[in-house]
Structure 1
C-alpha cells in the first residue's frame, strides 16, 4: 500500500483539526441561537400571562370578561402559533383563541398571589409531536370570581427556523472546509518546496560527487538543522571514501612489492640451472615474502573485524606488570640481537582482552625496537591514574617530527625515512593499536622529542 506524502498527511491533519473546530463552533452557534429564541419566547409568554392577569383584575365580573374578549386576544396576538384560553371554575371557556388547534394544558395554574416567572413555564407536545410551550395562571375579577388563564405557543415555527439555520450553517461550514482543504494543501506544498529541492539535490550526489553539499537556501529554520546534519554525514562519507581509496592504493602497493619480488627472483632463477644451495636460498627468500604478504592480510582482516560493531571482547582481569614481563621476555631475543635492553616498571590491574592487550603492546614494542639505537634501553611502564590505567612504551632515539604525529595511526602510513624497512613493517601496526584502544573505550597518544625519548601511551578505562 502506497504511503501518504508529507503534504497529504499535513493536509489531512489540518482537515481533522478544522473539521473538529468548525463542528464545535457550529454546534455552539446553533445552541446559542436556539437558547436565544427560547428565551425570547419564554419572555413573551411570561409578559403576556402577567398582562392578562392584570386585565382580568380590572374587570368587575365574568360577564364583562366576554365583552372584552378582543382586548384579551390582542394581548397575545402575534401569529397563529400563539393561543389563549380563559376558563371559569366550572371549566367553561370564556375566551378561546387557538388558530392552530393544538392542545392546551390548564393543569397546575400559578396561584393568583404568586408572581409569574419563566420557571413556571411548561412544555408539552401536540398530537403531531410538535413541542408546545406555555403557562397556566389563576386570575381574579373584582367580584371575587376566579378564572384560569392559559397562554401557550407552538414551537413549530421556531423549530423550522432552527432547522433552516442549521442547514444553512452546515452548507457554509462544508464550503469553508473545502476551501480550507484546497488552501491548506497549496500552502503546505509551497512550504515543503525547499524540502523537495533538497531531496532533488541529494539525489544528484553520487560517489563521484561527494564533495557536493546541500544548501538550506530559503528553507525554514526547522530544515537548517537537517541540512547541517546531512552535510556533516556527507563530510563523513567523503572522508570514509577517501580513506578507503587510500587504503586500497596502499594495500595494492604493499602487496605488489612482495609479489613482484617473488616473480622477479623466480624469473632470475629460471634463466639458468642453479645448484641446490641456490634453490634453497631462493625458496627461503620466497617464504620471507610469503610471510610478509601473510602478515599484511592478517592485519587487514583484523582491522576489518575490529570495525564490525558486533566485535566481542573477551575481557579478563589482568596483572599489567606480569603481562609486560611476558611481552618483554618474548622480545628478549630480538632485543639482544639489536643490543637493546628492555625493562618494566610499575604495577596496575585492569579488565581487558588479554590477546588484544598483548597485541597492542607488542606492536608498540616491535616499533620501538626498530628505532632504538644500540646500547639503549626500552622501558615498559604502567600505573593507575584516577579512573584510568596507563601503559607507556618509551624508547630513546631520533624523535618523530610533529607533522607526522597526527598521521602515525592512519593505515599504511609510514614516516618517509622508514620506507626502507617496509619489508618488516606493514604500516598497520599502529592502526591496530588504535583499533584495540577504541574497542576498549580508551585512547592512544604519542609524545616525542626531536632528539630524545619517544613515548607511546595507552589509556585504558579502569574497570578492574
Structure 2
C-alpha cells in the first residue's frame, strides 16, 4: 500500500512545480527574444555589408575581373574575420571565397542559417546587379558561433535557475505550509484529545485564519453539542437511577417482609398485587423513556390524517369529566380547527396537558381548551402562582414542580410535558407556556417551526407541573 502524501508535501511540490513552470516559460521567452534580436541585428549587418559590396564591385562581370581584384578583396575581408564573402557566377560556379570551408548556399534573397566545419553561419545572397539574372551572385556570410554559444549558455543558465528555483520554492513552501497548517494541526490535536472529561475544550477562533475560522466554529459547536448531550445523558442516567431506586427498594423490602414467615394464600395474593402496581409503574416509565428516546433520534414519525380537533378534544373532556366533577373543576372548550396529524399521538399530548391542568386548577377552578384558526391550541387553567424560575424547566424530563420530586412517586414520573413537547415537535409545531392574570396557558402552534420553552408575561406563574 502506497504511503499517502501529506497535504504540506503536496502544496510544497505544487509550489515548486508552479515556480519551475513560470521560470521555464520566462527562460524560453527570453531565449527566443534574444535569438530573434540577434537575427535582426545579423540581418541588418548583412544588408548593410551587401549594399557596400554592390557599390564597391560595380562593373564586375567576369571571373577574370574577380581575379584582378583578389588582393583588394582579401585585404578587405582579412580585417573582418567574422564576415565572409563568396562571389559566384549566375550559374552558381564559385569565383571567389574569402575563406575556405564556407557552406554552400542557394541563390536566395532570404536570410539563412548554415553550418560548415563546426562553424555556424548566417548568410544572405543577392545579385550584384539587381534584376539581372546573369549578374554575378554575392553571398555574404556572418560567423554566428559566438551567438550560439551565448544562447546555449543562456539555456544552461535557465535550466539551472529553474532547478534551483524549484528546490528553493519547495523548501520555502514546505516551511510556509507547515506554519500555515499549524491551525489544522491544532484542530487535529483538540479532536484527538476529546473525551468525556475534556468536552469543555474549545478552539481559539479569534486566532484562526479566515479560511479555518468557520471550521473552528463548527468544531466548537460540535463540542458544545457533545457536551450538552453528555450532560443530558448523565442527568438522564441519574434521573433514571433516582426514579427506579424507590420502587425497586419498595419491591425488595415488600418481598423480603412477605418471605420472613409463612403466610396465607390471601396474604400472598395481596403482596403480589402490591408488587404488580410497582411493576406496572416501572413498565410505564420504561415505555415513556423509550418513547422519548425515539423522539430525540427522529424516529417518531406521525401519520398524516385530517383531524377535527373539536371532536377530539370533546372526547377527552368527556373522559375527564368525572375526575373534574370530583375535583370541582369546570371544563370548557372554545372554537374549532381542522389540522393534519396523528390521532393517537395528539390525543396523548392533549391528555397530558388536561391531566396536568386538572391537578393544579384546584377546587372551583377552570380548565379551558381554546382552538383557533391556523392550528393554534391553548390549554389553560386557573391556580396558584409559583416562581418564574420553575417555568424554565417545565419541559425537562423527570421535572416536577412540587416537593414530591425529592423522593419520587409512583403516580407521576415527570415525563408528561417532555412527551407532549416531543409529539408537538414531531408534527412540526412549537409549544410554550404563558402565565398572566391568574392563568397558566400551554400554547401549541402547529403553524410554525419547532420551538419550545417558557414565555413569562407576568411577574407570577400559575402552579403547574408535569404529570
Size of the aligned set, in residue pairs, is 443
Is residue 2:282 matched to residue 1:293?
A: yes
Aligned ranges 1:47-66 → 2 under 5 Å: 47-57=48-58, 66=67
Contact 1:85 1:150 in 2 (8 A): yes
Check the 8 A contact 1:73/1:84 in 2, yes or no.
no
Does the C-alpha gap of structure 1 residues 82 and 352 become closer, same or farther in structure 2, counting only changes over 3 Å?
farther
Q: How far off its partner does 1:65 sit?
A: 5.1
Alignment correspondent of 1:116: none
- SS state at 1:370 partner: helix
Question: Of the candidates 161, 168, 180, which is equivalent to residue 179 of structure 1?
Answer: 168
Q: Structure 1, residues 281-301: CA drift from partner, whole Å, max 9, x if none?
A: 433322221121011101100
User: How many Å apart are 1:446 and its aligned residue?
Assistant: 0.4
CA distance in 2, matches of 1:21, 1:253: 72
Partner of 1:447: 434
1:227-376 residue pairs with structure 2 within 5 A?
227-274=216-263, 277-376=266-365
Q: Which is further off, 126-135 or 312-321?
A: 126-135
Instruction: Give the TM-score normalised by structure 2.
Output: 0.84
- Cα deviations by residue, 1:331-357 (Å, 9 ceiling, x for unpaired): 334334434343322122222222222
Match of 2:98 in 1: 97
Give, in angstroms, the shift of residue 276 of structure 1.
Answer: 5.0
Shift of 1:218: 5.2
Partner Cα separation in structure 2 for residue 121 and residue 77 of structure 1: 26
Is the Cα–Cα contact under 8 Å of residues 334 and 369 in structure 2 kept in the other structure?
Answer: yes
Partners of 1:29 and 1:303 in 2: CA distance: 75
SS of the aligned residue for 2:126 comes to strand
TM-score, normalization: structure 1? 0.84
Equivalent position of 2:385 in the other structure: 399
Contact 1:345 1:380 in 2 (8 A): yes
In the TM superposition, what is the alpha-carbon distance from 1:394 to its structure 2 partner? Answer: 1.0
Distance 1:288 1:310 in 2: 30
Structure 1 distance, partners of 2:137, 2:103, is: 18
Aligned equivalents of 1:3, 1:326: Cα separation in 2: 68
Query: Shift of the alpha carbon at 1:178?
Result: 1.0
2:203 is the alignment partner of 1:214: yes
- Deviation, 1:254, is 0.7
Corresponding residue for 1:112?
A: none
Find out whether 1:3 has 2:40 as its counterpart. no
User: Which range moves more in the overlay, 230-239 or 293-302?
Assistant: 230-239
Question: What pairs with 1:154-173 in structure 2 (closer than 5 Å)?
Answer: 158-173=147-162
What's the CA shift for 1:316? Answer: 1.9
Q: Does the 8 A contact of 1:121 with 1:133 survive in 2?
A: no
C-alpha change, 1:408 and 1:243, in structure 2 (3 Å) is same
Q: Distance in 2 between matches of 1:300 and 1:421?
A: 16
Structure 2 residue matching 1:331: 3-state secondary structure: helix
The residue correspondences of 1:98-177 to structure 2 (distance < 5 A) are 98-107=99-108, 120-123=109-112, 133-140=122-129, 146-153=135-142, 158-177=147-166
Give the aligned partner of residue 445 of structure 2: 459
- Using the TM superposition, give the Cα deviation of residue 427 of structure 1 relative to its aligned residue in structure 2, in angstroms: 1.0
Distance in 2 (CA, whole Å) between partners of 1:412 and 1:53 is: 116
Shift, 1:170, TM fit: 0.6
C-alpha distance in 1 between matches for 2:340 and 2:75: 106
Structure 1 pair 61/209, CA: closer, same or farther in 2 (3 Å)? closer
Measured against aligned partners, the alpha-carbon deviations of 1:127-181 in whole angstroms (never above 9, x if no partner) come to 899986433222249xxx9432222346665444423321231122112211211
Structure 2 gap segments, 5+ residues each? 450-467
SS in structure 2 at match of 1:406: helix
Say which SS state the counterpart of residue 235 (structure 1) adopts.
Answer: helix
Instruction: Give the equivalent residue in structure 1 for 2:400.
Output: 414
Bigger CA drift: 269-278 or 375-384?
269-278
Q: Deviations over 1:286-332 (max 9, x none)?
A: 22211210111011001111122354332222222222223323333
The Cα of 1:15 is off from its aligned counterpart by 2.2
Q: Deviations over 1:400-454 (max 9, x none)?
A: 42101111111111113453883221111111122222222221100124x7211
Q: Which range is displaced more, 439-448 or 12-21?
A: 12-21
Summarize the Cα distance change of 1:392–1:146 in structure 2 as closer, same or farther, 3 Å threshold. Answer: same
CA–CA separation in structure 2 for the residues paired with 1:318 and 1:83: 110
Indicate the SS of the match to 2:20. Answer: helix
1:111 paired residue number:
none
Secondary structure (helix, strand or coil) at the match of 1:209 reads: coil
